[in-house]
Amino acid sequence: MAKGDPGVTTRGRRATPRSKRAAASTKDPELVQLLTPEGERIDSAVGPDGTEYRVDFTDDEYRGLYRDLVLVRKLDAEATALQRQGELGLWASLLGQEAAQVGSGRALRTQDMAFPTYREHGVLYCRGIDPIMPLGLFRGVDQGGWDPNEFKFNMYTIVIGAQTLHATGYAMGVTMDGKTGTDDGEAVIAYFGDGATSQGDVNEAFVWASVFNAPMVFFCQNNQYAISEPLERQTRVPLYQRPPASASPAYGWTATTCSPRTRSPGTRWTTPGSARAPA
């Protein structure tokens, strides 16, 4: 499977889930779950708009996904070593987030636009950018080096949560250009972590994306901890329950688990309209 090819397929058929737990999860109008917290695979799940999602890979696709996971983890380990040796001023590790990044990166279409934080090295790789590119940024010799318009992958954002507003503004432009609701329509995805959900920029992005029907996917890679604070000191409800107050049919929300510490039950979203949320 070529790098950057879609890794998740949607089929127009139903399959019987393997357990009562799986069956119950497929009926939850807010939950799209293909793997239980215990690691049990679910054959298929129906989203809130009636779309069926299932993991139906070929052997070559499995090998391609595994190859990408290994490569981005190796890159991360080497870059971490360079930072420890003083060759890089900073390196934001993706350790534990490889699957979330490669999976969502593969699900993006060519025309979709991604807005990363400073650690989405796996998504960068899936968008066809030389994975060595970020090293120049973190060494302080350039400002990133790739063309966001060419690769549909914006520059890394160091300011926590700021990229969600950038993404929402871009998605509003997509709507104004009439590039939604069709097979060749465009969608936008913004990545962030637990701590960013406490930022004003992120909550403003939720509101604006909702009010202006922006084709947005907000992708939270959560491990129950920000850089300096555990989740219980940031919110009194699970992260996936925060956006629905400003929800609209036009944008999706994902809360993707990335660590053994995570107890989030899976990926939850609002009804994805023209935005195609990662399954």
Parse the chain into domains and list their residue ranges: 20-268
The Cα 131–Cα 146 span in angstroms is 11
Find residue 267's DSSP bridge partners.
Answer: 32
The predicted pLDDT at position 64 comes to: 94
The predicted pLDDT at position 252 comes to: 57
Is pTM beyond 0.85 here? Answer: no
Class of domain 20-268 as given by CATH: alpha beta
Checking if the pLDDT of 267 tops 70, the result is no
Checking if the pLDDT of 259 tops 50, the result is no
* Backbone torsion region of residue 199, taken as left when φ is above 0, otherwise alpha when ψ lies between -120 and 50, otherwise beta: beta
Q: Which two tokens stand for residue 212?
A: 């202006």
The predicted pLDDT at position 265 comes to: 32
> pLDDT higher for 246 or 235?
235
The predicted pLDDT at position 124 comes to: 97
Checking if the pLDDT of 2 tops 50, the result is no
The predicted pLDDT at position 47 comes to: 79
Find all residues with CB under 8 Å of 179, minimum gap 6, and list them.
185, 186
pLDDT in tens, 18-58: 333 334 333 444 667 888 878 788 888 887 778 888 888 89
Average pLDDT of the chain? Answer: 79
The predicted pLDDT at position 40 comes to: 85
Checking if the pLDDT of 228 tops 50, the result is yes
* Of 49-63, 178-192, 260-274, highest mean pLDDT: 178-192
The Cα 201–Cα 117 span in angstroms is 13
Return the half-sphere exposure (C-beta side, CA atoms, 13 A cut-off) of residue 233.
Answer: 7
When pLDDT is cut at 50, 70 and 90, the band that residue 271 belongs to is very low
Residues 53-69 have a mean pLDDT of: 91
**In this structure, is the dihedral angle defined by the CA atoms of residues 238, 242, 244 and 248, taken in order, positive or negative?**
negative
